[in-house]
Structures are given as C-alpha cells and as structure tokens.
Amino acid sequence: MQAIVVEQLGGPEELRIAERPDPRPGPGEISVRVSAAGVNFMDTGARRLGPAVGQVPFVPGVEGAGRVSALGEGVTEFAVGDRVAWVYAYGSYAEQVVMPAASAVPVPDDVTEEVAASIMMQGITAHHFTTEAAPVEPGHTTLVHAAAGGLGQKLTQLIKARGGTVIGLTSSETKAEVARQAGADHVLVCTGAAFVDPVLDLTGGQGVHTVFDGAGETTFRASMQVLRRHGTLLYYGAVIGDPPVVNMRELPNSIKICYPVFRDHIPTRDTLLAHTAELFQLVRQGRLRVEIGRRYPLKDAAQAHRDIESRATTGKLLLLP
C-alpha cells in the first residue's frame, strides 16, 4: 500500500509518499481501506514535534472513514465491507489502516464517507465544548475565534442548535461570509486583540458568556477581557503555543478557564457511539452542515499541511487515497 511517511521531524516537505507493507489486523482489530483521511492542525504538531504514540519514522493522521477490509480474531461488531469512521487511529494518512475495532463507529447509509471523515475530530470536539466543557444554554452569547475554519463552523452550528448567539471572528471579509453562512449572528474581521472593544459594544458592555479560543497566546488575555461575570474562557490553542502564565488573582469578573481534553468526552465505547450517533443525526436533519474546504490526493499531503498552517483555508481539509 501507499502511505505518507515522516522519516525525520520538520516542515511539510518531510511528508513523503512511500510503499509500506499492507497492515494485518491482530486480535480485536480491523483493517480499513481508507476513503478519506482528515487533516487536522494537530497533525502538523506531530510532524514538527513527534507523534503522541510511537516514534519516527511514522505515518501521521488520526481520523478518517472507509470500508472494513479484514477482521482480526474476536471481532464480531463489524463485517468486511462495512462503512466506518474513526478518530485517534494513528496512521490514517494511508491507503489502509489498522485500528482497534472499538475505535471505529458505523456510518449511516445516508451519510457520505467524506462527511463522516470530516466530523469525527472536529465534530466530537465541538460537541464536547458546547455540551460538557462549557455548556451553551438558550440565550447565551458566545465568541468563536476562527469562525470560518472547520471547527469554527461546527462550533457555530452547535451553539445555534442549543439556542445561543454567536459572535464570530475571522481574518478576512471572504472568511467572514463563510462564518455568516455557518450561522454566525455577528462577524468581526480583525486580528490579534482588536476584537475587545467591538465585542463589548455588541454586548452592551456586559461581555459574552463563553469564549472559544484556539488562537494561542496572542489572544488569550484579550479573550479574558470580553467575558462577563462568571463567564468561561475555553482555551484549546496548545498546538499553536502555550498560553501566558496567569496569576489567579488577575482573573477578572470571577471567570473560569477551561482546557478541554478530547478523550474526556469519549472515555468509553458507549459514549463514543452515543456522541457520534447524535452528530450523524444532526447531519441527516440538516442542522449540522459540513463544508469540505479542499480535497487532496494522498501524495499531496505536504501541500495540505502548508495550506492549513497558512490559515488561508476554510472548512475541512481531506486527503483522498
């Protein structure tokens, strides 16, 4: 099979296509022929800093969808030919990937594999943010950084589905239109900390209930400034850079700071199945729309990384083996 292999850590040029042995599933595992692999910003961190599991050389990618091609001993939940999607199955930038059967979820007949691959990481993340880490309630006003990105669009739609108001931040007017189409009530085109005064103006000086900030250190303190009393700053920008050190006594308005961990939302097989089933249902109802920003052949993984790091993209990026 063909796969993208990182032989040494570094820039996008280290993503090279190579021939690898076809993987064989062991006990409790399945082999899947990949139809689409999701490109996530965390993949760029693995390329630069090393994978969270294993060492170089390695095949990056943790998310995708495809069809089961072989079953390991003891697997009864799936059959060869079943359509499945997954998240945190390492080695997904490849024509085939082996994973624990417990990592895969069935894809409904009326959901495409490209859509399924697009919602596993970002959809579960957005679901975690809006339902458990910082639950959105009807009437809540929220601020979403990078609202035109794949995660930003899903956050916006899930916030709206729960009765919240969205102020979206984008870096260009082109991206602003994408955020509006996703359902943002207000869109501000600005960079850095320039959003503070406009957000306070939009909220009558009160601030927002929740800020969803994945922009890194450059916006962290500004995000604190736009929170109302007892508001929540949900920070998820660790791949971009560590946040500044904050003295607890410096926190304004009795705010809370949350750093959500993905696996805390799906600690068991049952929760993974339940949350993904809810997301698929929202897709089928038209309440969660997936914008696929760009599709790349597998060999062009390096270009996909250049594009996602440029911040010039909108929507989900996919590799198609």
pLDDT of residue 240: 62
Looking at the fold, whether 248 and 274 belong to one and the same domain comes out as no
Task: Please state the rounded mean pLDDT for residues 12-41.
Answer: 97
Length of the chain (residues):
321
**Does 130 reside within a domain?**
no
Looking at the fold, whether 238 and 308 belong to one and the same domain comes out as no
Domain that holds residue 190: 135-259
Task: For residue 287, give both structure tokens.
Answer: 């309440």
Q: Say which CATH number the domain at 147 has.
A: 3.40.50.720
Total domains present in the chain: 2
More reliable by pLDDT, 239 or 219: 219
Task: Please state the rounded mean pLDDT for residues 162-176.
Answer: 96
pLDDT of residue 146: 92
Chain segment 180-218, per-residue pLDDT in tens:
999 999 999 998 899 999 999 999 999 999 999 988 788
Cis upstream peptide for 25 (omega within 30°): no
- Tell me the pairing of strands 29-39 and 15-19: unpaired
* 58 touches 47 (CB < 8 A): no
More reliable by pLDDT, 151 or 245: 151
* 61 touches 52 (CB < 8 A): no
**Does 145 reside within a domain?**
yes
Identify residue 213 by its one-letter amino acid code. D
Looking at the fold, whether 254 and 280 belong to one and the same domain comes out as no
Chain segment 73-129, per-residue pLDDT in tens:
999 999 999 999 999 999 999 999 999 999 999 999 999 999 999 999 999 999 999
- pTM score, two decimals? 0.93
pLDDT of residue 239: 60
Looking at the fold, whether 184 and 288 belong to one and the same domain comes out as no
Mean pLDDT for all residues in the chain: 95
Q: Is the pLDDT of residue 314 over 90?
A: no
Looking at the fold, whether 275 and 253 belong to one and the same domain comes out as no
Looking at the fold, whether 20 and 105 belong to one and the same domain comes out as yes
Looking at the fold, whether 221 and 285 belong to one and the same domain comes out as no
Q: Say which CATH number the domain at 46 has.
A: 3.90.180.10
Question: Distance between CA 2 and CA 19 in Å, rounded?
Answer: 5
Looking at the fold, whether 74 and 99 belong to one and the same domain comes out as yes
Write down the residue that tokens 């001993």 correspond to: 73
Q: Report how far apart, in Å, the C-alpha atoms of 137 and of each of 115, 165, 187, 191, 285 are.
A: 27, 10, 21, 28, 21
Looking at the fold, whether 112 and 143 belong to one and the same domain comes out as no
**Does 228 reside within a domain?**
yes
Looking at the fold, whether 146 and 242 belong to one and the same domain comes out as yes
Q: What value, to the nearest 5°, has the Cα angle with vertex 122 and ends 320 and 156?
A: 125
